[in-house]
Amino acid sequence: QTLHVTQCSQTSTVLLAAAKPRLFLLSNSAQNDGKVHVLLLSSWRSGSSFMGQVFSQHPSVFYLMEPAWHVWTKVEKPRAGLLRMAVRDLLRSLLQCDFSVMDSYFPENAHVSSLFMWTVSRALCSPPACSITARNESQCRQKCDVKGLQKVEKACRTHSHVVLKEVRLFELKSLYPLLQDPNLDLRIVHLVRDPRAVYRSRDALPGKLMFDSTIVLEQKDIPAAEVQYSVMQEVCHSHLEIYETAILKPPPFLEGRYKMIRYEDMARNPLKEVSDIYQFVGLEMTKQMEEWIYKTTHGKGKGTGKQAFQVIPRNATQVSEAWRTMLPHSKVKRVQEVCGEAMELLGYRSVHSEEEQKRLDLDLLLVRELR
Ligand SMILES: *[C@@H]1O[C@H](CO)[C@@H](O)[C@H](O)[C@H]1NC(C)=O
Ligand SMILES: *[C@@H]1O[C@H](CO)[C@@H](O)[C@H](O)[C@H]1NC(C)=O
């Protein structure tokens, strides 16, 4: 395979990408000619848009953001538990570039733009999905919105990696059939973040996440003042459950296929973390990607407010500590109560006074050998 790479340099990225994972895993990839499938699992306000772009910007990746949004918005009185198998089956089809599954969720005259947040996918804004290589999202919106999904499927097939980012999954067990499917070579990247920082970010966006919160909370009648804490409890519980399933007692088909990353490690050392993730999924680090990562994590803004759902250059370290000065200690205490167990497992130290909270020289991130 090394010889192969030197002989056809044009396809070297794809070949390298396909060759690497086989060295690690005696996987079931025999039937899918080296294609790698990645689920980026995360939760709201945890840096998953940035992480999604880390994949989307890579030339070997076909990326879609949160396709389960279509499932959650299609039915009346949706509940997360009820919809999880529909979500699982949607993901399975999309990972295999079968977009006919979208018929259930799309209007008859589907366009590329029917796909949720389609312009954040580089692959949907460049050939073969689009006739041009769009320079930014607004140009993509203008020039790349064609009728039908044939070109989308083609684009999906011509990339060595299909990556789906999802925030609407709360456990791993429903994914077991995908991990055992001989047509898939699935890797799970699980992105978590300090629950206190997540809470602060949610708190700064009143109302915006209400629709999803109702579904996470299974339509239960919960006092408005408690909703955020209840959602945090669910999210933290799901981190625990996923981590325990994958690390503490993994079934054999899950071994070597799960990697957890903490937002804060990413913020402190983005290039190293991204390199590790690329290696885990068999993607090559490129000069362009290195530059993009540097630019995006070393900006000046704090990234709050209007651009809440965009990936803009910002100071990643500053963003990850913002909760310590901006959140009242009473709220911090509540979050620590509902998320204590998860925080301990993931290596986030609790603070026991307002003074501790505001003492920024006190590092709350514990060193953790996460897989
Ligand atoms: C997007 O790119 C197009 C083409 O280069 C340019 O004309 C336009 O000003 C850009 N828009 C934004 C918002 O950057
Ligand atoms: C980012 O913020 C941290 C903490 O406030 C500061 O030490 C660092 O110099 C900032 N970096 C840039 C590039 O502004």
Average pLDDT over residues 190-210: 87
Cα 175 to ligand 1 centre (Å): 40
Q: Is residue 371 part of a domain?
A: no
Q: Which ligand is nearest to the CA of 295?
A: 2
Q: Is residue 34 part of a domain?
A: no
Provide the CA 254 distance to its chain's centre, in angstroms. 18
- Model confidence band, residue 302 (pLDDT cutoffs 50, 70, 90): very low
Contacts of 271 (CB under 8 A, 6+ apart): 290, 293, 294
pLDDT tens-place string over residues 125-155: 999 999 999 999 999 999 999 999 999 999 9
pLDDT tens-place string over residues 110-127: 999 999 999 999 999 999
Average pLDDT over residues 155-175: 94
Cα 312 to ligand 1 centre (Å): 16
pLDDT (0 to 100) of residue 52: 94
Beta strands in the chain (DSSP E): 36-41, 61-65, 161-166, 186-192, 258-262
Residue 299 CA, closest ligand 2 atom number: 13
- Are 162 and 154 spatial neighbours (Cβ–Cβ below 8 Å)? no
Whole-angstrom Cα distance, residue 293 to residue 289? Answer: 6
Residue 186's H or E segment, with its range, is strand 186-192
Q: Which of 167, 194, 339, 363 is nearest to 264 (CA)?
A: 194
Average pLDDT over residues 150-179: 94
135 touches ligand 1 (CB under 6 Å)? yes
Q: Which ligand is nearest to the CA of 132?
A: 1
pLDDT (0 to 100) of residue 14: 32
**Which residue segment(s) compose the domain that 332 sits in?**
2-20+39-358
Q: Is residue 365 part of a domain?
A: no
Whole-angstrom Cα distance, residue 327 to residue 3? Answer: 56
**Which of 293, 314, 315, 363 is the best mutation target for the ligand 2 pocket, counting ligand atoms within 8 Å of the beta carbon and taking the most?**
315
- Are 86 and 78 spatial neighbours (Cβ–Cβ below 8 Å)? no
Can you state the percent helix, strand and coil of the chain, rounding each to 5?
Answer: 55, 10, 35
Average pLDDT over residues 38-58: 92
Contacts of 52 (CB under 8 A, 6+ apart): 40, 63, 65, 120, 163, 165
Q: Is residue 324 part of a domain?
A: yes
Q: Which amino acid is at 89?
A: D
Q: Is residue 259 part of a domain?
A: yes
Query: Which residue is closest in CA terms to ligand 2's atom 11?
Result: 315
Q: Is residue 33 part of a domain?
A: no
Our count of domains for the chain comes to 1
Contacts of 23 (CB under 8 A, 6+ apart): none
**Which of 269, 297, 318 is the best mutation target for the ligand 2 pocket, counting ligand atoms within 8 Å of the beta carbon and taking the most?**
318
> Whole-number mean pLDDT of the chain?
84
Cα 266 to ligand 2 centre (Å): 15
The edge-to-edge listing of strands for the beta sheet with 161-166 is: 61-65, 161-166, 36-41, 186-192, 258-262
CATH at 189: 3.40.50.300
pLDDT tops 90 at residue 327? yes
Q: Which ligand is nearest to the CA of 315?
A: 2
Cα 142 to ligand 1 centre (Å): 11
Cα 283 to ligand 1 centre (Å): 29
Tokens of 140: 């993509």
**Which of 293, 295, 296, 317 is the best mutation target for the ligand 2 pocket, counting ligand atoms within 8 Å of the beta carbon and taking the most?**
317
Structure pTM? 0.85
Q: Is residue 103 part of a domain?
A: yes
139 touches ligand 1 (CB under 6 Å)? yes
Q: Is residue 370 part of a domain?
A: no
**Which of 133, 135, 140, 310 is the best mutation target for the ligand 1 pocket, counting ligand atoms within 8 Å of the beta carbon and taking the most?**
135
